[in-house]
């Protein structure tokens, strides 16, 4: 899904520098998902993720639908419901189809999105796309995470079609996720594709597993950020990005 986005340009930051990386979680997930910030290059697992083969096809969906639906029938029974009552007759199939949709990011590869969308451009000012709607699924509880993603990068002769930033968000968010990994995967994909001077990604999200159970904090939001390159090394560039996404 691609929603209207805002973009803003501003004076460029300092010269390119080696990519560093910082991920921090504020008010993190309460189930131990918060990770220690990693220093240095992005982990190979995350980088490999960008080049991964898609793990599911449309044919796979058709093949697995009956077994997923059967599993939902078992779940309904286990919850004390009667899967045969009128209102629930089609629920296992609907739920299975919905779950496949919620995880359709497994059917896509980042590299397909990037093909034909990278342009040589002598643009060296910060590009920001903010308020990208994001819907994901917590991999610990299989309930929704939803919120907004803000992306900024400082190009180094290459730019990406603006709508593609939202597509990258879509592909990684429509998988089972933890917010910290989602944030990092988006930043690493942009870094790999464009070799920019720097990238910043901030995600503000609500975790239904926190809102509906556990601490039951209705309005708690989890904020994660990944800063690479000059966004990490140059406080001025980072502050400019953070100011622009809040304006
Ligand atoms: Zn959860």
Active-site residue identified among 38, 81, 141, 195: 141
Is residue 244 pLDDT above 50, yes or no? yes
Told to judge if 123 belongs to the known catalytic residues of this protein, a careful annotator would answer: no
Report CA(214)–ligand 1 centroid distance (Å). 10
Report CA(134)–ligand 1 centroid distance (Å). 16
Report CA(242)–ligand 1 centroid distance (Å). 27
pLDDT-wise least confident of 22-36, 137-151, 152-166: 22-36
HSE of 53, CA atoms in CB hemisphere, 13 A: 3
- Sequence-ordered list of residues with C-beta below 8 angstroms from that of 200, at least 6 positions apart, any chain: 150, 151, 152, 153, 187, 225, 226, 227, 228, 231, 238, 241, 242
- For the segment 151-172, the average pLDDT, to the nearest whole number, is 94
Q: Please, what is the average pLDDT of the chain?
A: 83
Report CA(222)–ligand 1 centroid distance (Å). 12
Q: What does 144-186 look like in DSSP terms, one character per residue?
A: EEEEEEEEEEE-SSEEE-HHHHHHHHHHHHSSEE-HHHHHHHH
Local structure of 133: helix, strand or coil: strand
Is residue 47 pLDDT above 60, yes or no? no
Distance CA 194, CA 176 (A): 26
Is residue 116 pLDDT above 70, yes or no? yes
Query: Residue 220 has what pLDDT?
Result: 84
**b/e map 15-54, b = 16+ CB within 10 Å:** ebeebbbbbbbeebbbeebbbeebeeebeeebeebbeeee
pLDDT-wise least confident of 36-40, 62-66, 75-79, 151-155: 36-40
Contact 107, 57 (CB under 8 A): yes
Told to judge if 138 belongs to the known catalytic residues of this protein, a careful annotator would answer: yes
> Which percentage of the chain shows pLDDT scores above 90?
64
HSE of 232, CA atoms in CB hemisphere, 13 A: 26
Contact 184, 41 (CB under 8 A): no
Q: How far is CA 46 from CA 54, 57, 193, in A?
A: 15, 22, 14
- Beta strands 158-160 and 118-120 are antiparallel
pLDDT band at 105 (very low <50, low <70, confident <90, very high): very high
Report CA(233)–ligand 1 centroid distance (Å). 32
The number of helix segments (H) and strand segments (E) in the chain equals 9, 9
Q: Which two tokens stand for residue 209?
A: 């597993």
Told to judge if 29 belongs to the known catalytic residues of this protein, a careful annotator would answer: no
Contact 147, 134 (CB under 8 A): yes
- For the segment 186-207, the average pLDDT, to the nearest whole number, is 95
pTM score of the predicted model: 0.79
Query: Residue 113 has what pLDDT?
Result: 85
Report CA(189)–ligand 1 centroid distance (Å). 24
Distance CA 177, CA 173 (A): 7
Report CA(120)–ligand 1 centroid distance (Å). 41
Report CA(142)–ligand 1 centroid distance (Å). 7
Is residue 38 pLDDT above 50, yes or no? no
Residue in the block written with tokens 């800063």: 227
Active-site residue identified among 100, 209, 233, 240: 209
- Sequence-ordered list of residues with C-beta below 8 angstroms from that of 172, at least 6 positions apart, any chain: 105, 110, 182, 185, 186, 189
Distance CA 21, CA 9 (A): 23
Query: Residue 216 has what pLDDT?
Result: 67
Told to judge if 107 belongs to the known catalytic residues of this protein, a careful annotator would answer: no
Active-site residue identified among 100, 204, 207, 240: 207
Active-site residue identified among 179, 180, 233, 240: 179
Report CA(208)–ligand 1 centroid distance (Å). 7
Is residue 24 pLDDT above 50, yes or no? no
pLDDT band at 218 (very low <50, low <70, confident <90, very high): confident
């Amino acid at each position: 899904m691609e929603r209207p986005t805002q973009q803003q340009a501003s004076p460029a930051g300092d010269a390119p520098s080696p990519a560093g990386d910082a991920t921090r979680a504020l008010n993190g997930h309460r189930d131990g998902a918060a990770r220690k910030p990693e220093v240095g290059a992005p982990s190979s697992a995350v980088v490999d993720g960008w080049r991964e083969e898609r793990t599911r096809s449309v044919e796979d969906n058709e093949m697995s639908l009956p077994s997923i639906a059967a599993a939902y029938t078992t779940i309904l029974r286990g919850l004390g419901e009667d899967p045969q009552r009128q209102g629930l007759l089609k629920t296992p199939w609907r739920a299975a189809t919905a779950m496949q949709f919620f995880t359709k990011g497994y059917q896509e590869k980042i590299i397909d999105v990037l093909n034909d969308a990278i342009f040589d451009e002598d643009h060296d000012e910060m590009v920001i796309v903010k308020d990208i709607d994001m819907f994901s699924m917590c991999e610990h509880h299989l309930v929704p995470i939803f919120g907004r993603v803000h992306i900024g990068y400082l190009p180094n002769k290459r730019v990406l079609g603006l709508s593609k930033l939202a597509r990258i968000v879509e592909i990684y968010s429509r998988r089972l996720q933890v917010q910290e990994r989602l944030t990092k995967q988006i930043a690493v994909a942009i870094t790999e594709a464009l070799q920019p001077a720097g990238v910043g990604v901030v995600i503000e999200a609500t975790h239904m597993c926190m809102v509906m159970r556990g601490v039951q904090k209705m309005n708690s939001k989890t904020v994660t950020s990944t800063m690479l390159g000059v966004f990490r090394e140059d406080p001025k560039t980072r502050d400019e990005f953070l100011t622009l996404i809040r304006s």
